[in-house]
Structure 1
Amino acid sequence: MSDPEKSAAMRPDLPAPERLPPLLLTRPADRARGFLQRLEACLSPLPPVLIAPVMEILPRPLPEDLSRYRGLILTSAQAARLLAAPLSAPAFVVGEETARAARARGLDVHAVAETAEDLLALLRARPLAAPLIHLRGTETRLDLAAALSSAGTETHEAVVYEQRPIPLGEAARALLARPHAVVAPLFSPRSATLFARAAEGARAALHLVAMSPAVADAWRAHWTGPEPERLAILPAPRAAEMVHHVAELYRNWPG
Protein backbone atom coordinates (compact mmCIF):
# COMPACT_ATOMS: atom_id res chain seq x y z
CA MET A 1 0.00 0.00 0.00
CA SER A 2 1.37 3.42 -0.94
CA ASP A 3 1.86 6.16 1.67
CA PRO A 4 -1.20 8.14 0.44
CA GLU A 5 -3.33 4.99 0.58
CA LYS A 6 -2.07 4.24 4.11
CA SER A 7 -2.90 7.72 5.32
CA ALA A 8 -6.33 7.55 3.69
CA ALA A 9 -7.14 4.25 5.35
CA MET A 10 -6.60 5.72 8.82
CA ARG A 11 -8.91 8.74 8.47
CA PRO A 12 -12.62 8.15 9.13
CA ASP A 13 -14.15 11.57 8.36
CA LEU A 14 -15.16 10.74 4.75
CA PRO A 15 -16.33 7.61 2.96
CA ALA A 16 -13.68 4.89 3.00
CA PRO A 17 -11.16 5.09 0.13
CA GLU A 18 -12.52 1.93 -1.47
CA ARG A 19 -15.88 3.70 -1.88
CA LEU A 20 -14.33 6.79 -3.45
CA PRO A 21 -13.56 6.77 -7.17
CA PRO A 22 -9.87 6.64 -8.04
CA LEU A 23 -8.02 9.86 -8.83
CA LEU A 24 -6.02 9.65 -12.06
CA LEU A 25 -3.21 12.21 -12.38
CA THR A 26 -1.77 12.43 -15.88
CA ARG A 27 0.56 15.42 -15.53
CA PRO A 28 4.35 14.89 -15.28
CA ALA A 29 5.19 12.79 -12.22
CA ASP A 30 6.89 15.47 -10.10
CA ARG A 31 4.05 17.91 -10.71
CA ALA A 32 1.49 15.20 -9.94
CA ARG A 33 3.19 14.46 -6.62
CA GLY A 34 3.18 18.16 -5.76
CA PHE A 35 -0.55 18.38 -6.48
CA LEU A 36 -1.18 15.30 -4.38
CA GLN A 37 0.67 16.81 -1.41
CA ARG A 38 -1.50 19.92 -1.59
CA LEU A 39 -4.64 17.83 -1.89
CA GLU A 40 -3.69 15.68 1.10
CA ALA A 41 -3.31 18.83 3.20
CA CYS A 42 -7.03 19.61 2.80
CA LEU A 43 -8.69 16.24 2.10
CA SER A 44 -8.81 13.15 4.24
CA PRO A 45 -9.02 10.39 3.47
CA LEU A 46 -7.42 10.54 0.06
CA PRO A 47 -9.05 8.37 -2.59
CA PRO A 48 -7.04 5.67 -4.32
CA VAL A 49 -4.51 7.55 -6.48
CA LEU A 50 -2.79 6.56 -9.71
CA ILE A 51 -0.07 8.77 -11.20
CA ALA A 52 0.16 8.01 -14.92
CA PRO A 53 1.89 10.81 -16.87
CA VAL A 54 1.03 11.33 -20.52
CA MET A 55 4.17 13.41 -21.09
CA GLU A 56 7.60 14.03 -19.64
CA ILE A 57 9.52 17.28 -19.41
CA LEU A 58 13.00 17.28 -20.95
CA PRO A 59 15.10 20.42 -20.37
CA ARG A 60 16.95 22.07 -23.22
CA PRO A 61 19.93 24.42 -22.90
CA LEU A 62 19.10 27.97 -21.83
CA PRO A 63 20.21 30.91 -23.98
CA GLU A 64 23.81 31.80 -23.16
CA ASP A 65 23.32 35.43 -22.13
CA LEU A 66 19.95 36.17 -20.57
CA SER A 67 21.36 39.28 -18.91
CA ARG A 68 21.05 41.25 -22.15
CA TYR A 69 17.26 41.07 -22.00
CA ARG A 70 15.28 43.72 -20.15
CA GLY A 71 12.58 41.31 -19.07
CA LEU A 72 11.69 37.61 -19.02
CA ILE A 73 8.29 36.26 -20.01
CA LEU A 74 7.47 32.98 -18.27
CA THR A 75 4.24 31.20 -19.10
CA SER A 76 4.96 28.06 -17.07
CA ALA A 77 6.55 27.23 -13.74
CA GLN A 78 8.68 24.67 -15.55
CA ALA A 79 10.52 27.40 -17.46
CA ALA A 80 11.13 29.35 -14.25
CA ARG A 81 12.55 26.30 -12.47
CA LEU A 82 15.16 25.87 -15.18
CA LEU A 83 16.79 29.21 -14.38
CA ALA A 84 19.99 28.41 -12.52
CA ALA A 85 21.02 31.79 -11.13
CA PRO A 86 19.28 34.95 -9.93
CA LEU A 87 18.78 37.53 -12.66
CA SER A 88 18.20 41.25 -12.32
CA ALA A 89 15.60 41.48 -15.10
CA PRO A 90 11.90 41.75 -14.25
CA ALA A 91 9.65 38.79 -14.92
CA PHE A 92 6.18 38.80 -16.46
CA VAL A 93 4.43 35.52 -15.75
CA VAL A 94 1.30 33.43 -16.16
CA GLY A 95 -0.07 31.92 -12.96
CA GLU A 96 0.72 32.11 -9.27
CA GLU A 97 2.66 28.85 -9.42
CA THR A 98 4.96 30.36 -12.05
CA ALA A 99 5.29 33.52 -9.96
CA ARG A 100 6.38 31.48 -6.93
CA ALA A 101 8.93 29.56 -8.99
CA ALA A 102 10.27 32.81 -10.49
CA ARG A 103 10.64 34.45 -7.08
CA ALA A 104 12.43 31.34 -5.81
CA ARG A 105 15.03 31.99 -8.53
CA GLY A 106 15.47 35.57 -7.36
CA LEU A 107 13.44 37.21 -10.12
CA ASP A 108 11.46 40.38 -9.50
CA VAL A 109 7.94 39.52 -10.66
CA HIS A 110 6.37 42.66 -12.15
CA ALA A 111 3.13 41.16 -13.45
CA VAL A 112 1.07 38.01 -12.93
CA ALA A 113 -1.76 37.13 -15.34
CA GLU A 114 -4.11 34.16 -15.28
CA THR A 115 -3.71 33.28 -18.98
CA ALA A 116 -1.25 33.97 -21.78
CA GLU A 117 -3.91 36.06 -23.49
CA ASP A 118 -4.32 38.16 -20.35
CA LEU A 119 -0.56 38.62 -20.09
CA LEU A 120 -0.35 39.75 -23.70
CA ALA A 121 -3.06 42.36 -23.13
CA LEU A 122 -1.34 43.55 -19.98
CA LEU A 123 2.05 43.91 -21.66
CA ARG A 124 0.61 45.68 -24.68
CA ALA A 125 -0.98 48.26 -22.37
CA ARG A 126 2.22 49.37 -20.63
CA PRO A 127 5.53 50.86 -21.76
CA LEU A 128 8.24 48.21 -21.71
CA ALA A 129 12.01 48.28 -21.98
CA ALA A 130 13.22 46.00 -24.76
CA PRO A 131 14.29 43.46 -25.74
CA LEU A 132 12.25 40.86 -23.88
CA ILE A 133 12.51 37.09 -24.14
CA HIS A 134 9.81 34.44 -23.74
CA LEU A 135 11.14 31.18 -22.27
CA ARG A 136 8.73 28.40 -23.20
CA GLY A 137 8.18 24.74 -24.01
CA THR A 138 7.90 23.14 -27.42
CA GLU A 139 4.10 23.36 -27.36
CA THR A 140 2.40 26.75 -27.18
CA ARG A 141 -1.01 28.11 -28.16
CA LEU A 142 -0.04 31.77 -28.43
CA ASP A 143 3.05 33.25 -30.08
CA LEU A 144 3.75 35.96 -27.52
CA ALA A 145 7.07 36.96 -29.05
CA ALA A 146 5.54 37.63 -32.46
CA ALA A 147 2.51 39.41 -30.99
CA LEU A 148 4.59 41.74 -28.82
CA SER A 149 7.13 42.41 -31.56
CA SER A 150 4.36 43.35 -33.98
CA ALA A 151 3.02 45.73 -31.32
CA GLY A 152 6.39 47.50 -31.14
CA THR A 153 8.20 45.72 -28.29
CA GLU A 154 11.14 43.66 -29.55
CA THR A 155 10.63 40.20 -28.08
CA HIS A 156 12.59 37.02 -28.67
CA GLU A 157 11.78 33.47 -27.63
CA ALA A 158 13.68 30.36 -26.63
CA VAL A 159 12.39 26.82 -26.28
CA VAL A 160 13.90 25.67 -22.98
CA TYR A 161 12.08 22.38 -22.46
CA GLU A 162 10.39 19.67 -24.47
CA GLN A 163 6.99 18.21 -23.60
CA ARG A 164 7.49 14.68 -24.91
CA PRO A 165 4.43 12.40 -25.05
CA ILE A 166 4.70 9.04 -23.31
CA PRO A 167 2.25 6.12 -23.56
CA LEU A 168 -0.38 5.78 -20.88
CA GLY A 169 0.75 3.08 -18.47
CA GLU A 170 -0.76 -0.38 -18.20
CA ALA A 171 -2.34 0.33 -14.81
CA ALA A 172 -4.06 3.44 -16.15
CA ARG A 173 -5.34 1.61 -19.22
CA ALA A 174 -6.75 -1.13 -16.98
CA LEU A 175 -8.39 1.47 -14.75
CA LEU A 176 -10.04 3.19 -17.71
CA ALA A 177 -11.24 -0.12 -19.14
CA ARG A 178 -13.54 -0.73 -16.16
CA PRO A 179 -17.08 0.71 -16.19
CA HIS A 180 -16.58 2.65 -12.95
CA ALA A 181 -16.12 6.31 -12.05
CA VAL A 182 -12.66 7.87 -12.44
CA VAL A 183 -11.78 11.45 -11.49
CA ALA A 184 -9.16 13.07 -13.73
CA PRO A 185 -8.01 16.70 -13.43
CA LEU A 186 -6.83 18.26 -16.70
CA PHE A 187 -4.15 20.89 -16.13
CA SER A 188 -3.13 22.07 -19.60
CA PRO A 189 -4.32 21.92 -23.22
CA ARG A 190 -1.36 19.70 -24.05
CA SER A 191 -2.04 17.14 -21.32
CA ALA A 192 -5.78 17.22 -22.09
CA THR A 193 -5.05 16.49 -25.75
CA LEU A 194 -2.70 13.62 -24.97
CA PHE A 195 -5.05 12.10 -22.39
CA ALA A 196 -8.04 12.31 -24.74
CA ARG A 197 -6.09 10.41 -27.37
CA ALA A 198 -4.65 7.88 -24.92
CA ALA A 199 -8.03 7.17 -23.31
CA GLU A 200 -9.74 6.26 -26.58
CA GLY A 201 -12.08 3.33 -26.01
CA ALA A 202 -12.29 3.89 -22.26
CA ARG A 203 -15.35 2.44 -20.51
CA ALA A 204 -14.88 4.41 -17.30
CA ALA A 205 -17.37 7.09 -16.28
CA LEU A 206 -15.03 10.07 -16.48
CA HIS A 207 -15.35 12.97 -14.05
CA LEU A 208 -13.06 15.64 -15.52
CA VAL A 209 -11.98 18.96 -14.05
CA ALA A 210 -10.43 21.35 -16.58
CA MET A 211 -8.11 24.15 -15.48
CA SER A 212 -9.58 26.56 -18.05
CA PRO A 213 -11.94 26.76 -21.04
CA ALA A 214 -8.92 26.26 -23.32
CA VAL A 215 -8.12 23.00 -21.55
CA ALA A 216 -11.73 21.82 -21.88
CA ASP A 217 -11.73 22.77 -25.57
CA ALA A 218 -8.55 20.75 -26.14
CA TRP A 219 -10.19 17.71 -24.54
CA ARG A 220 -13.36 18.06 -26.62
CA ALA A 221 -11.38 18.52 -29.84
CA HIS A 222 -9.54 15.21 -29.42
CA TRP A 223 -11.97 13.00 -27.51
CA THR A 224 -13.91 10.59 -29.71
CA GLY A 225 -15.79 8.66 -27.03
CA PRO A 226 -19.10 9.30 -25.27
CA GLU A 227 -19.67 12.43 -23.23
CA PRO A 228 -17.89 12.30 -19.89
CA GLU A 229 -20.01 11.97 -16.78
CA ARG A 230 -18.79 15.42 -15.77
CA LEU A 231 -16.63 18.12 -17.35
CA ALA A 232 -16.21 20.97 -14.88
CA ILE A 233 -14.24 24.11 -15.71
CA LEU A 234 -12.57 26.06 -12.93
CA PRO A 235 -13.75 29.65 -12.39
CA ALA A 236 -10.10 30.77 -12.43
CA PRO A 237 -7.08 28.84 -13.79
CA ARG A 238 -5.23 28.55 -10.50
CA ALA A 239 -3.61 25.53 -8.86
CA ALA A 240 -5.36 26.35 -5.58
CA GLU A 241 -8.72 26.30 -7.38
CA MET A 242 -7.97 22.84 -8.77
CA VAL A 243 -7.06 21.54 -5.32
CA HIS A 244 -10.24 23.05 -3.86
CA HIS A 245 -12.52 21.74 -6.62
CA VAL A 246 -11.16 18.19 -6.52
CA ALA A 247 -11.36 18.15 -2.72
CA GLU A 248 -14.97 19.35 -2.81
CA LEU A 249 -15.86 16.76 -5.43
CA TYR A 250 -14.66 13.99 -3.11
CA ARG A 251 -16.19 15.53 0.02
CA ASN A 252 -19.58 15.53 -1.69
CA TRP A 253 -19.26 12.12 -3.30
CA PRO A 254 -22.30 9.92 -2.56
CA GLY A 255 -21.79 7.16 -0.06
Structure 2
Amino acid sequence: MPPVLLLTRPEAGSRRFLEDLAAEGVTGFTAIISPLLGIEVTGPLPDLDGAGGAIFTSANAVRAYTALGGRPLPLCYTVGDATAQAAREAGFAPRSAGGNADALVAMIRAEAPGERLVHFRGTHARGDVAARLAAAGLHAGDAVIYDQPAQELSAAAKAALDGDVPVIVPLFSPRSAAQFAGVPRGRAPLIVAAMSRDVAAALGALYVTRLEIPAQPDAVDMRRVVIGLLKDFGALVKGHGSVKG
Protein backbone atom coordinates (compact mmCIF):
# COMPACT_ATOMS: atom_id res chain seq x y z
CA MET A 1 0.00 0.00 0.00
CA PRO A 2 1.55 3.38 -1.02
CA PRO A 3 1.89 6.14 1.58
CA VAL A 4 -0.71 8.88 1.81
CA LEU A 5 0.45 12.46 1.38
CA LEU A 6 -2.15 14.80 2.88
CA LEU A 7 -1.77 18.37 1.65
CA THR A 8 -3.66 20.94 3.70
CA ARG A 9 -2.49 24.19 2.11
CA PRO A 10 -4.90 26.21 -0.04
CA GLU A 11 -5.60 24.57 -3.39
CA ALA A 12 -3.11 26.53 -5.49
CA GLY A 13 -0.24 25.96 -3.06
CA SER A 14 -1.00 22.24 -2.75
CA ARG A 15 -1.14 21.82 -6.53
CA ARG A 16 2.18 23.62 -6.89
CA PHE A 17 3.73 21.36 -4.23
CA LEU A 18 2.61 18.27 -6.15
CA GLU A 19 3.97 19.72 -9.40
CA ASP A 20 7.34 20.31 -7.73
CA LEU A 21 7.44 16.72 -6.48
CA ALA A 22 6.60 15.45 -9.97
CA ALA A 23 9.35 17.63 -11.46
CA GLU A 24 11.82 15.85 -9.18
CA GLY A 25 10.55 12.44 -10.28
CA VAL A 26 8.91 11.60 -6.96
CA THR A 27 6.10 9.06 -7.39
CA GLY A 28 4.57 6.11 -5.56
CA PHE A 29 2.22 7.86 -3.15
CA THR A 30 -1.47 8.69 -2.88
CA ALA A 31 -2.07 12.43 -2.75
CA ILE A 32 -5.09 13.95 -1.02
CA ILE A 33 -5.62 17.70 -1.21
CA SER A 34 -7.84 18.97 1.59
CA PRO A 35 -7.18 22.63 2.44
CA LEU A 36 -7.59 23.63 6.07
CA LEU A 37 -7.58 27.28 5.04
CA GLY A 38 -9.37 28.90 2.14
CA ILE A 39 -8.29 32.02 0.28
CA GLU A 40 -10.85 34.75 -0.36
CA VAL A 41 -9.75 37.97 -2.02
CA THR A 42 -11.27 40.87 -0.10
CA GLY A 43 -9.43 44.05 -1.00
CA PRO A 44 -9.63 46.75 -1.95
CA LEU A 45 -6.12 47.83 -2.75
CA PRO A 46 -5.06 50.99 -0.90
CA ASP A 47 -4.16 54.19 -2.70
CA LEU A 48 -0.77 53.36 -4.20
CA ASP A 49 0.11 56.88 -5.34
CA GLY A 50 3.59 57.49 -4.02
CA ALA A 51 4.16 53.83 -3.09
CA GLY A 52 7.54 52.64 -4.24
CA GLY A 53 7.62 49.06 -3.09
CA ALA A 54 5.60 45.98 -2.21
CA ILE A 55 6.27 43.44 0.52
CA PHE A 56 4.81 39.95 0.20
CA THR A 57 4.98 37.21 2.81
CA SER A 58 3.01 34.64 0.81
CA ALA A 59 2.27 33.71 -2.77
CA ASN A 60 -1.42 34.05 -1.89
CA ALA A 61 -0.85 37.76 -1.28
CA VAL A 62 0.74 38.12 -4.70
CA ARG A 63 -2.24 36.38 -6.35
CA ALA A 64 -4.72 38.54 -4.43
CA TYR A 65 -2.83 41.71 -5.37
CA THR A 66 -2.92 40.72 -9.04
CA ALA A 67 -6.60 39.73 -8.87
CA LEU A 68 -7.41 43.18 -7.50
CA GLY A 69 -5.72 44.85 -10.46
CA GLY A 70 -2.43 45.68 -8.79
CA ARG A 71 0.54 46.49 -11.03
CA PRO A 72 4.23 45.84 -10.37
CA LEU A 73 5.97 48.45 -8.22
CA PRO A 74 9.64 49.41 -8.60
CA LEU A 75 10.70 47.59 -5.42
CA CYS A 76 9.53 44.18 -4.22
CA TYR A 77 10.58 42.22 -1.16
CA THR A 78 9.46 38.66 -0.40
CA VAL A 79 9.85 36.40 2.60
CA GLY A 80 11.10 33.40 0.62
CA ASP A 81 11.85 31.98 -2.80
CA ALA A 82 8.41 30.48 -3.48
CA THR A 83 6.81 33.86 -2.87
CA ALA A 84 9.51 35.47 -5.00
CA GLN A 85 8.65 33.14 -7.87
CA ALA A 86 4.97 34.13 -7.66
CA ALA A 87 5.99 37.81 -7.61
CA ARG A 88 8.27 37.30 -10.60
CA GLU A 89 5.42 35.71 -12.53
CA ALA A 90 3.31 38.78 -11.67
CA GLY A 91 5.90 41.09 -13.23
CA PHE A 92 7.88 42.16 -10.16
CA ALA A 93 11.65 41.98 -9.76
CA PRO A 94 11.63 40.55 -6.22
CA ARG A 95 14.35 40.42 -3.59
CA SER A 96 13.91 37.29 -1.48
CA ALA A 97 14.93 37.08 2.16
CA GLY A 98 15.11 33.30 1.76
CA GLY A 99 13.74 32.67 5.21
CA ASN A 100 11.18 34.00 7.67
CA ALA A 101 9.73 37.35 8.71
CA ASP A 102 12.77 38.15 10.86
CA ALA A 103 15.09 37.67 7.89
CA LEU A 104 12.79 39.79 5.72
CA VAL A 105 12.71 42.67 8.21
CA ALA A 106 16.48 42.50 8.65
CA MET A 107 17.07 42.61 4.88
CA ILE A 108 14.80 45.62 4.34
CA ARG A 109 16.24 47.47 7.34
CA ALA A 110 19.77 46.88 6.02
CA GLU A 111 18.85 48.30 2.62
CA ALA A 112 16.83 51.16 4.18
CA PRO A 113 14.92 52.16 1.04
CA GLY A 114 13.51 55.67 1.12
CA GLU A 115 10.36 54.74 -0.81
CA ARG A 116 7.00 54.05 0.81
CA LEU A 117 6.57 50.31 1.26
CA VAL A 118 3.29 48.43 1.58
CA HIS A 119 3.03 44.95 3.08
CA PHE A 120 0.16 43.22 1.28
CA ARG A 121 -1.11 40.44 3.52
CA GLY A 122 -3.99 38.28 4.68
CA THR A 123 -6.27 38.76 7.66
CA HIS A 124 -4.13 36.35 9.67
CA ALA A 125 -0.45 37.25 9.55
CA ARG A 126 2.56 36.84 11.79
CA GLY A 127 5.75 38.82 12.17
CA ASP A 128 4.39 42.42 12.40
CA VAL A 129 6.53 43.24 9.36
CA ALA A 130 5.20 46.74 8.59
CA ALA A 131 5.08 47.79 12.26
CA ARG A 132 8.66 46.69 12.86
CA LEU A 133 9.88 48.52 9.77
CA ALA A 134 8.00 51.66 10.78
CA ALA A 135 9.51 51.44 14.26
CA ALA A 136 12.93 51.34 12.59
CA GLY A 137 12.18 54.64 10.87
CA LEU A 138 11.14 53.33 7.45
CA HIS A 139 8.02 54.50 5.64
CA ALA A 140 6.00 51.27 5.78
CA GLY A 141 2.38 50.28 6.19
CA ASP A 142 0.23 47.26 5.48
CA ALA A 143 -2.93 46.40 3.56
CA VAL A 144 -5.16 43.38 4.20
CA ILE A 145 -6.29 42.16 0.78
CA TYR A 146 -7.46 38.59 1.42
CA ASP A 147 -8.96 36.40 4.11
CA GLN A 148 -8.06 32.85 5.13
CA PRO A 149 -11.25 31.23 6.46
CA ALA A 150 -10.89 27.88 8.22
CA GLN A 151 -12.19 24.81 6.40
CA GLU A 152 -12.95 21.26 7.50
CA LEU A 153 -11.03 18.30 6.17
CA SER A 154 -12.68 16.43 3.32
CA ALA A 155 -14.29 13.02 3.73
CA ALA A 156 -11.34 11.47 1.87
CA ALA A 157 -8.84 13.08 4.26
CA LYS A 158 -10.78 11.94 7.32
CA ALA A 159 -10.97 8.40 5.95
CA ALA A 160 -7.20 8.35 5.37
CA LEU A 161 -6.55 9.55 8.92
CA ASP A 162 -8.74 6.73 10.23
CA GLY A 163 -7.06 4.11 8.06
CA ASP A 164 -4.13 1.77 8.60
CA VAL A 165 -1.62 3.41 6.25
CA PRO A 166 0.69 6.08 7.72
CA VAL A 167 -0.21 9.61 6.59
CA ILE A 168 2.49 12.16 5.80
CA VAL A 169 1.30 15.71 6.53
CA PRO A 170 3.36 18.81 5.62
CA LEU A 171 2.26 21.81 7.73
CA PHE A 172 3.39 25.30 6.77
CA SER A 173 1.92 27.64 9.39
CA PRO A 174 1.13 27.66 13.12
CA ARG A 175 -2.53 28.35 12.33
CA SER A 176 -2.92 25.33 10.05
CA ALA A 177 -0.99 23.17 12.53
CA ALA A 178 -3.27 24.23 15.39
CA GLN A 179 -6.32 23.54 13.29
CA PHE A 180 -4.99 20.13 12.26
CA ALA A 181 -4.28 19.30 15.91
CA GLY A 182 -7.97 19.90 16.62
CA VAL A 183 -9.12 17.26 14.14
CA PRO A 184 -10.34 14.09 15.90
CA ARG A 185 -7.45 11.62 16.06
CA GLY A 186 -7.79 8.62 13.77
CA ARG A 187 -5.95 5.31 13.74
CA ALA A 188 -3.37 6.10 11.07
CA PRO A 189 0.19 6.82 12.22
CA LEU A 190 0.94 10.52 11.62
CA ILE A 191 4.21 11.64 10.07
CA VAL A 192 4.50 15.43 10.13
CA ALA A 193 6.84 17.81 8.34
CA ALA A 194 6.55 21.17 10.15
CA MET A 195 7.91 24.29 8.46
CA SER A 196 9.41 25.65 11.69
CA ARG A 197 9.59 25.10 15.43
CA ASP A 198 6.68 27.52 15.85
CA VAL A 199 4.61 25.33 13.54
CA ALA A 200 5.62 22.22 15.47
CA ALA A 201 4.77 23.88 18.79
CA ALA A 202 1.28 24.67 17.49
CA LEU A 203 0.57 20.93 17.32
CA GLY A 204 0.38 20.99 21.11
CA ALA A 205 -0.19 17.57 22.63
CA LEU A 206 -1.04 15.86 19.34
CA TYR A 207 0.87 12.58 19.19
CA VAL A 208 2.77 12.02 15.97
CA THR A 209 4.86 9.03 14.99
CA ARG A 210 7.60 11.17 13.52
CA LEU A 211 8.20 14.90 13.29
CA GLU A 212 10.67 16.54 10.93
CA ILE A 213 11.59 20.24 10.81
CA PRO A 214 13.61 21.53 7.84
CA ALA A 215 16.91 23.32 8.39
CA GLN A 216 15.50 26.43 6.72
CA PRO A 217 11.83 27.51 6.91
CA ASP A 218 11.26 27.61 3.17
CA ALA A 219 9.49 25.64 0.45
CA VAL A 220 12.67 24.08 -0.92
CA ASP A 221 13.73 22.55 2.39
CA MET A 222 10.16 21.46 3.14
CA ARG A 223 10.09 19.65 -0.17
CA ARG A 224 13.38 17.93 0.65
CA VAL A 225 12.02 16.78 3.99
CA VAL A 226 8.83 15.41 2.45
CA ILE A 227 10.77 13.61 -0.28
CA GLY A 228 12.94 12.04 2.40
CA LEU A 229 9.88 10.88 4.33
CA LEU A 230 8.35 9.39 1.20
CA LYS A 231 11.57 7.54 0.40
CA ASP A 232 11.83 6.28 3.98
CA PHE A 233 8.25 5.07 3.98
CA GLY A 234 9.13 1.38 4.31
CA ALA A 235 11.22 2.02 7.42
CA LEU A 236 8.54 4.30 8.83
CA VAL A 237 5.92 1.58 8.56
CA LYS A 238 8.13 -0.87 10.44
CA GLY A 239 9.19 1.55 13.12
CA HIS A 240 6.27 3.83 13.70
CA GLY A 241 6.74 3.62 17.42
CA SER A 242 9.27 6.44 17.35
CA VAL A 243 8.46 9.56 19.33
CA LYS A 244 7.69 13.14 18.46
CA GLY A 245 10.76 15.33 18.37
Using the size of structure 2 for normalisation, the TM-score is 0.87
Look up the match of 2:105: 120
Distance 2:190 2:49 in 1: 47
Distance 1:67 1:89 in 2: 13
- 1:195-247 deviation per Cα after TM superposition (whole angstroms, max 9, x unaligned): 1112x333221000112222212223xxx43x210110011122222222222
- May I ask how many residue pairs the two structures share in their alignment? 232
Letter in 1 for 2:199: V
Letter in 1 for 2:61: A
| Structure 2: runs of 5+ lacking an equivalent | 236-245
Distance 1:191 1:252 in 2: 25
> 1:245 aligned to 2:218?
no
Distance 1:181 1:110 in 2: 39
Listed as ranges, the matches of 1:173-188 within 5 Å are: 173-188=158-173
SS of residue paired to 1:160: strand
Look up the match of 1:70: 52
Runs of 4 or more, structure 1, over 6 Å off, are none
Look up the match of 2:189: 205
Look up the match of 1:55: 37
SS of residue paired to 2:193: strand
Look up the match of 2:243: none
Letter in 1 for 2:142: E
Distance 1:131 1:113 in 2: 22
Please tell me whether the aligned partners of residues 120 and 142 of structure 2 are also in contact (alpha carbons under 8 angstroms).
yes
Please tell me whether the aligned partners of residues 40 and 46 of structure 1 are also in contact (alpha carbons under 8 angstroms).
no
Distance 2:233 2:185 in 1: 25
Taking a change above 3 Å as real, the CA distance of residues 151 and 168 of structure 1, as seen in their structure-2 partners, is: same
| Structure 1: runs of 5+ lacking an equivalent | 1-17
1:134 paired residue among 87, 99, 119: 119
- 1:35-76 deviation per Cα after TM superposition (whole angstroms, max 9, x unaligned): 112112224433111111111100112424324212111111
Using the size of structure 1 for normalisation, the TM-score is 0.84
